[in-house]
Amino acid sequence: MLDRRSLFAATAAVGSFVSAAFGGRKAQAATSYTSRNLSPPGDVNKRGTKGRFERVPELDLESKWDFVTGFRQFQQRFGPVTRKRIAKIMEDKGLDPKARVSFDEALKLVEDDLLVQTSGRTWISNQQVTWKIFHDYYHEHAEEYLAEMETADTAGPGTLELNPNLDIPDYIRHEIHIQPGGYVGDEFAGHIYHHGTNSFSAGIPFLGDNEQDQIPIRTVERLPLPADGKVKRILDMGCGIGRMPVALKERFPEAEVWGIDAGGPMVRYAHMRANDLGVDVNFAQRLAEDTKFEDGYFDIVVSSIINHEIPSEDNKKVIAEAYRVTRKGGYYYPIDFRTTGGTGTVYSQYRRWWDHRWNCEPWSPEFVAFDFEDEIEKAGFVINKETKPAQPGFGARHAEKLA
């Protein structure tokens, strides 16, 4: 695995420095801007909006984004071809194509195959280019976008809490998904992540276009109600740029909704965007394993695709914290990849390996071997196995707190 963690001796300080000017306080809104046609003061919106999506600032940048997104969609065609190629490799070696193997065994079988390696290389190269075009743009226009965020910090309707002195765990101090600076080391992490993940989801057939937040909206619509139907408070652990909390508030407008994330730049962008949409959500820079909320405070606790980014021992702490802050009769619903006990088909294991090795997913192998459902039940939850997946492709983990 590429060792980029040393980068954060310097870059994590950048995020802390930016947060320091506004840190340790809650910004309560004085004014709410509920129409996308009425921009809040200081808003940098160069090309208008397309529904709820603020358009890419420059036509040249949009053209580049369109290219990398189109290439990502093209690259997905490698999937079925690569799967067939691996099946042929297994057949030629007299092996069962459906056999379950470890990461090491999968790699040995395919590491010298040109087609298989081309599939991985093109995906990663496209990822690198995607991040670069947005990283370069926002840093070239840093002054105006930093000013926009500074103005938004104290705007509303939602609140923002930044904690520049937060002891950020080592597991977050790396360039996750090879995003430059990661989530804590670049003041524009939220801006860059937003556009990059729009490109990513557009290239995944079962996810699809997310320009209008379709994925979190659909996911939230599928979430069950607690058995008693009461939803007064909701928490999203590891909320990133806040798309899930915004969707939660839109489904449950009377509820108090919180989104927390260790990345100050991420929640800062989330707060700015939620307020730009006129949605009253509270964002805070806090850890999923130490949320600072009272026992039993929330009716619903959710997370989306964060657990595979966390070492197993810290995952156990996150699950325990979710149990602590969920009320009796409420539930915890973490969305993430299925765990397989550390083995899988050669194709799935190879895909997971190169994601781990080249896309900076340090704890992916740990998560594959992690018995997620068992740990959730050890914490005290009871998994409702009748619930359908809120996000297809990721399974259902509807964990109820019955006692």
User: 353 in a domain, yes or no?
Assistant: no
**pLDDT value at position 41?**
66
Q: What is the mean pLDDT of residues 151-175?
A: 95
User: 147 in a domain, yes or no?
Assistant: no
**pLDDT value at position 202?**
83
Q: Measure the CA–CA gap between 207 and 16, rounded to whole angstroms.
A: 33
Kindly indicate the confidence band of residue 15, based on its pLDDT and cuts at 50, 70 and 90.
very low
Q: Is the per-residue pLDDT at 19 higher than 80?
A: no
**pLDDT value at position 39?**
62
Where residue 240 sits, what CATH number does that domain have?
3.40.50.150
The number of folded domains in the chain is 1
**pLDDT value at position 340?**
85
The residue among 375, 379, 382 whose CA lies nearest residue 398 is 382
**pLDDT value at position 25?**
39
**pLDDT value at position 204?**
78
User: 205 in a domain, yes or no?
Assistant: no
Phi then psi dihedrals of residue 393, to 5 deg? 95, -10
Domain with 36 in it: 5-44+51-57+152-184+214-336+371-400
User: 102 in a domain, yes or no?
Assistant: no
Q: In sequence order, which ranges of 53-113 are alpha helices (DSSP H)?
A: 59-75, 78-92, 103-110
User: 123 in a domain, yes or no?
Assistant: no
Per-residue H/E/C for 151-214: HHHCCECCCEECCCCCCCCHHHCCCHHHCCCCCCCCCCHHHHHHHHHHHHHHCCCCCCCCCCCH
Tokens 């500074």 sit on residue? 150
Q: Measure the CA–CA gap between 209 and 190, rounded to whole angstroms.
A: 19
Kindly indicate the confidence band of residue 357, based on its pLDDT and cuts at 50, 70 and 90.
very high
Which of 24-38, 102-116, 280-294 comes out lowest in average pLDDT? 24-38
User: 232 in a domain, yes or no?
Assistant: yes
Quote the longest CA-to-CA distance of the chain. Answer: 70
**pLDDT value at position 24?**
44
Q: What is the mean pLDDT of residues 318-338?
A: 97
User: 110 in a domain, yes or no?
Assistant: no
User: 196 in a domain, yes or no?
Assistant: no
Kindly indicate the confidence band of residue 122, based on its pLDDT and cuts at 50, 70 and 90.
very high
**pLDDT value at position 20?**
38
Mean pLDDT of the chain: 89
Q: Is the per-residue pLDDT at 5 higher than 60?
A: no
